[in-house]
Amino acid sequence: MKTIALIEKGKDGTFGVYTPNIETTLIGEGATVAEAKADFKNSVEEVLAAYRESGEPLPEELQNIEFEYKYDVASIFDYFDFINITKFAKRAGINAALMRQYKSCGTYISEAQASKIEKALHAIGKELSAVSL
């Protein structure tokens, strides 16, 4: 079963991962997105191991579970920290200062702005996947 794992930056500056679409509590936390994802994966393994050890049947929602990670803006730029925010903002058609505020998680982001960011990320991904060396 494929489900969404949301990655968000908290007000305290740490990152969290959680699954809003299933009943089983699966969470991860860390100082970085990479740490939060590692903690999340560990949490999943612990839950699955607990079911195996107890002999209880595994809930259907956990059988063959896979995750589609979705990021908030602050999390995506933490995880892919090699992306230059100023240059990315220019490419996406967003004011660089505002983009830095989005990255720091201090500013509300509209759906239109989020769409611009997502489109720019996808365009970069498409360009990169076409590269040959």
Banded pLDDT at 1 (limits 50, 70, 90):
confident
The answer to the question of residue 78 being in a domain is: no
Which amino acid does the sequence have at 79? Y
Rg (CA), the chain: 17
pLDDT on residue 32: 94
Domains identified in the chain, total number: 2
Same-domain pairing of 59 and 120: no
Closest to 74 (Cα-Cα) out of 120, 30, 109, 111: 109
The domain of 112 spans 83-129
pTM for the whole structure: 0.83
pLDDT on residue 104: 84
pLDDT on residue 103: 87
Residue 117 burial by Cβ neighbours in a 10 Å radius (0-12, 13-18, 19+): buried
- Contacts for 38 with CB less than 8 Å, ≥ 6 apart: 28, 30
Same-domain pairing of 42 and 16: yes
Banded pLDDT at 40 (limits 50, 70, 90):
very high
Q: Domain end: 53, 72, 91, which one?
A: 72
The answer to the question of residue 87 being in a domain is: yes
Same-domain pairing of 18 and 57: yes
Same-domain pairing of 93 and 64: no
The answer to the question of residue 60 being in a domain is: yes
Same-domain pairing of 52 and 89: no
Can you spell out the DSSP letters for 52-82? Answer: HHHTPPPPGGGTT-EEEEEE-HHHHHHHTTT
Domain at 59, CATH number: 3.30.160
| pLDDT tens track for 83-129 | 999 999 999 999 999 999 988 876 788 999 999 999 999 999 999 99
Same-domain pairing of 59 and 101: no
pLDDT on residue 107: 73
